[in-house]
Structure 1
């Protein structure tokens, strides 16, 4: 924070769910206006999310984002014209380890994202309606994930039993150490992605593409997948409702997403500098 005046922020990379978006996955006008004020001040703005690319399109349009955006926690970075700036897939052997870890958990639903599709075996799982509402499109039901092993963008274990997901995260991490990223993007979602598919790498890649030094970047987020970009940015901002472990890794903490936390952070920490 003490260096903000010396290093004005030229680029802000923001998480979406739990940060820009309200709990019902909508944007409010205060957030839209705050992002517009950034653009008017000449500050670049883009999005980094655990979502698939096509589940970000509505927000990209609403916010007028015309820069590369990071989907799948940075696994896929898409230019405004739809071409790829970068793509990182989960190695097949690593995917099998993760799928085996989740296979016998009766309280856990397992989803695979591949080639833009949301794949699952049970379309009647209790977490499916929530995900479909957030993504804006339905899943594809498959008998096996094996045909998709060569191009998996993300595996998700999801459950309302958040303590179980914490346990599964701790169990899986040593098994895929050095081979994959494992993090809870939200309390009910445990994401497994390629090692290079993290928001820190995404920030570095996009900033380099834009010609902006990392010291002049800011990031904002609320989930366990956001500290990866906190560590790289010149300024890191955590949302007020984030878990304490996430907030401790940020430079500053703003209000929750239900209280216009992003708009407050932009006004307080970025525009004055």
Structure 2
């Protein structure tokens, strides 16, 4: 039976320095040559994915924004975004608290004034917390900002935003976001052992699980055909609806406990080794 494979991106398909292991690229291309379908299933929006260097790797489509966007063979199957009023409320909430944020849209990633200083610091903690080294910290921080577009004032009140990520000064910011935005879904993500470095706010009811179900319906496919790969608790909803689930060796405790199989770390050919074990290649 040909499989439909869902891959988380950061920490699964690519490492925490946003680099694609050669073995992972090879595994994906070989699996597709064998007739399997491969989709990324990520918290990233399309603009962020388009900045990744996937070299010669080809995909059948993507689920983005933690399930808010579904694409198959270039066709948009589903797209749920925040209302302009919700975006305005989040922007004002963050600015009043002097919290740096970025608006995640398919057209780009848009930041406020505070993110210019807070963003690079948080991103460095993210990479270092995952066990990676940063040889030139100043260079890393400068280059980390190249992916963003700086906007001010009402230009940040956009109607094309999938979700909003913001730097956590403390965990209380996340708890406050839950209280202040009950109509939205609030998550956290971050460094070692999933330390909360960022909070995010998105459309309620949107999950990777829901998006996979939408895509399977579009493909007229069944759960029995699915395999998923992840490294973090945000991937648990993906595991709930797939037939077989693989956790990366670098993954957190919760995702490993929920997995059918634990492969090697992302930088130790984890994806390739799992594809081989499961006879996908």
TM category (shorter chain) comes to 0.7 to 0.9
- How far apart in 1 are the matches of 2:225 and 2:144? 32
- How far apart in 2 are the matches of 1:134 and 1:198? 27
Deviation at 1:174, TM superposition (A): 5.7
TM-score for both structures, normalised by structure 2: 0.77
* Equivalent pair of 2:14/2:266 in contact (CA under 8 Å): yes
- How far apart in 2 are the matches of 1:248 and 1:101? 36
* Equivalent pair of 1:109/1:127 in contact (CA under 8 Å): yes
Q: CA RMSD in A?
A: 3.0
Q: Structure 2 matches for 1:152-191, cutoff 5 A? A: 152-159=161-168, 164=170, 166-173=171-178, 176=181, 179-187=183-191, 188-191=197-200
Q: What runs of 5+ residues in structure 1 fail to find an aligned partner?
A: 1-7
1:200 correspondence with 2:209: yes
Query: When you count helix as a share of all residues, which structure comes out higher?
Result: 2
Q: What runs of 5+ residues in structure 2 fail to find an aligned partner?
A: 124-140, 192-196
Provide the residue aligned with 1:4 in structure 2. Answer: none
TM-score for both structures, normalised by structure 1: 0.79
* Equivalent residue for 1:62, pick from 56, 72, 75: 56
- How far apart in 1 are the matches of 2:145 and 2:223? 30
Over residues 84-115 of structure 1, what are the superposed CA-to-partner deviations in whole Å (9 max), with x where a residue is unaligned?
21111124565566556655656x52222245
Q: Find the residue that maps to 2:186 and give its secondary structure.
A: strand
- How far apart in 2 are the matches of 1:12 and 1:132? 35
Over residues 38-71 of structure 1, what are the superposed CA-to-partner deviations in whole Å (9 max), with x where a residue is unaligned?
1232211111122221322355663211x23112
* Equivalent pair of 1:68/1:206 in contact (CA under 8 Å): no
1:214 correspondence with 2:223: yes
Provide the residue aligned with 1:142 in structure 2. Answer: 152
